[in-house]
Amino acid sequence: MLKNNLFVALIHFPVMNKKNQPIGSALTTIDLHDIARASITFGVSGFYVITPYEDQITLANQVIEHWTKGVGAKLNPFRKDALELIRVTKTFEDAVFSIEQERKEPVVTIATSAEKKKGSIAIESLQQKLADKASHVIVFGTAWGLADELIDTCDFILDPIFGSTGYNHLSVRSAASIYLDRIINGR
């Protein structure tokens, strides 16, 4: 089931620190690799990396350039294919606007959280929504997760990933991979 109307966004501001305060986080370059590789595996059309900080934008673009146009692209064409999905924007609004411009259809925004939030929807609901003529962007937070001020702007929020132990501190790389597998391969 290929969903060409599915996008992923990785937020570095506003996210939470462990004291539950909104912050901007630093880029973790392996997030770009892992989430790009999961995105291309599951047919995601674009992976937005969102940071307002100029030096972090430069770093992200250096990583992308190395693997899509530089030596990395020759060394590992599979990595090139994955990292070509990445687009860097300063704000989440810029990412949504970019998807709207590209796809010429409404953009539905879906936040994720490791905590159960009131009114969160199941994977099955999202799968049904994907049949609509709209683009859908699944939003992941770095650090200790998305700040409420960003979640509140999203159309929906997905149920958290539950394991079997109550521990809910997966890496964002693991969480994004599991969510994409659940969305595309059903659950």
Distance separating alpha carbons of residues 10 and 47, to the nearest angstrom? 8
One-letter amino acid identity for 87? Answer: R
Residues 137-156 that bind a second copy (CB under 8 A): none
Residue 2 contacts a second copy per CB under 8 A? yes
Q: Are 117 and 151 in contact (CB under 8 A)?
A: yes
* 23 binding a second copy? (CB under 8 A): no
For residue 50, what are the contacts with CB-CB under 8 A and spacing of at least 6?
9, 10, 11, 12, 13, 88, 89, 90, 91, 92, 94, 95
**Cα(180)–Cα(35) distance, integer angstroms:** 10
20 dihedral zone (left: phi>0; alpha: psi -120 to 50; beta): left
Radius of gyration of the CA atoms of the chain, in A:
16
Stretch that binds a second copy, among 8-16, 59-67, 124-132, 168-176 (CB under 8 A): 168-176
| Segment interacting with a second copy, rule: CB under 8 A, options 52-60, 62-70, 102-110, 176-184 | 176-184
Q: How far is residue 177's CA from residue 166's CA, in Å, rounded to a whole number?
A: 19
Stretch of 32-40, 60-68, 93-101, 132-140 lying at the interface with a second copy (CB under 8 A): 32-40
Q: Does 24 bind a second copy (CB under 8 A)?
A: no
On the 0-12 / 13-18 / 19+ scale of CB atoms within 10 A, 128 is exposed
15 lies in the binding site for a second copy (CB under 8 A): no
Binding mask 45-84 for a second copy (x = CB under 8 A): -------------------------------x-xx-xx--
User: What is the rounded distance in angstroms from the CA atom of residue 109 to the CA atom of residue 187?
Assistant: 21
Q: Which of 22, 43, 72, 106 binds a second copy (CB under 8 A)?
A: 43
Closest CB to a second copy among residues 82, 154: 82
Task: Please say which residue, 33 or 103, places its beta carbon nearer to a second copy.
Answer: 33
Residues that bind a second copy (CB under 8 A): 1-3, 18, 30, 33-34, 37-38, 40-43, 76, 78-79, 81-82, 161-165, 167-171, 173-175, 177-178, 180-182, 184-187
